[in-house]
């Protein structure tokens, strides 16, 4: 997969650049299974569609979504409100009224990845018990 082509058509906020740790991680083949999380870029047009959705719903925030939790409206987004090579990651419950969408944040992609790995381990353990 050509990672660069996955992001070429996305109209990112001025000055925003995906963090290096994110770009290096998504180049892994295959990507580690982080279910229930999945990366938006894996499906054509999904990154752009979620970016548009988040912009429309929360026009006062500058967010760049990159992953979604299955079976929910929760997405994780980079904070594009200011220049940063390692932006904060926000948990956003889309379709909630503005002001109610915030589900917390972590300091950067690496912190989110650590939490997502823990989520995936819990998800798999719960699946095995069923």
Q: Where are the domains of the chain?
A: 16-129
Q: What pLDDT does residue 1 have?
A: 46
Pick the closest to residue 29 from 39, 19, 14, 44 (CA basis): 39
- Terminal alpha carbon distance of the chain: 35
Backbone angles phi, psi at 86, to 5 degrees: -145, 70
Reply yes or no on whether the pLDDT at 8 is more than 70.
no
Q: Compute the mean pLDDT over every residue in the chain, rounded to the nearest whole number.
A: 92
Q: What is the pLDDT of residues 40-79, one digit of tens each?
A: 999 989 999 999 999 999 999 999 999 999 999 999 999 9
With beta carbons less than 8 A apart as the criterion, state whether 31 and 119 touch. Answer: no
Pick the closest to residue 76 from 45, 34, 104 (CA basis): 104
Contacts of 44-52 spanning 24+ positions with Cβ under 8 A: 47/6, 47/7, 47/10, 48/9, 48/10, 48/11, 50/75, 50/94, 51/10, 51/11, 51/12
Q: What pLDDT does residue 70 have?
A: 94
Q: What is the dihedral of CA 53, 111, 5, 50, to 10 degrees?
A: -10
Reply yes or no on whether the pLDDT at 11 is more than 90.
no
Question: Which residue did the predictor score with more confidence, 3 or 53?
Answer: 53
Backbone angles phi, psi at 104, to 5 degrees: 105, 180
Q: Which pair of structure tokens corresponds to residue 17?
A: 């650049």
Q: What pLDDT does residue 130 have?
A: 66
């Amino acid at each position: 997969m050509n990672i660069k082509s996955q992001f070429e058509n996305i109209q990112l906020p001025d000055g925003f650049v995906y963090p290096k740790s994110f770009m290096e991680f998504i180049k892994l083949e295959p990507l580690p299974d982080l279910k229930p999380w999945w990366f938006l870029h894996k499906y054509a047009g999904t990154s752009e569609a979620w970016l548009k959705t988040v912009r429309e719903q929360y026009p006062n925030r500058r967010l760049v979504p990159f992953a979604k939790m299955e079976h929910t409206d929760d997405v994780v987004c980079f904070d594009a409100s200011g220049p940063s090579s390692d932006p904060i990651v926000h948990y956003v419950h889309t379709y909630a009224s503005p002001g109610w969408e915030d589900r917390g944040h972590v300091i950067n992609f690496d912190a989110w990845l650590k939490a997502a790995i823990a989520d995936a381990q819990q998800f798999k353990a719960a699946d095995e018990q069923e």
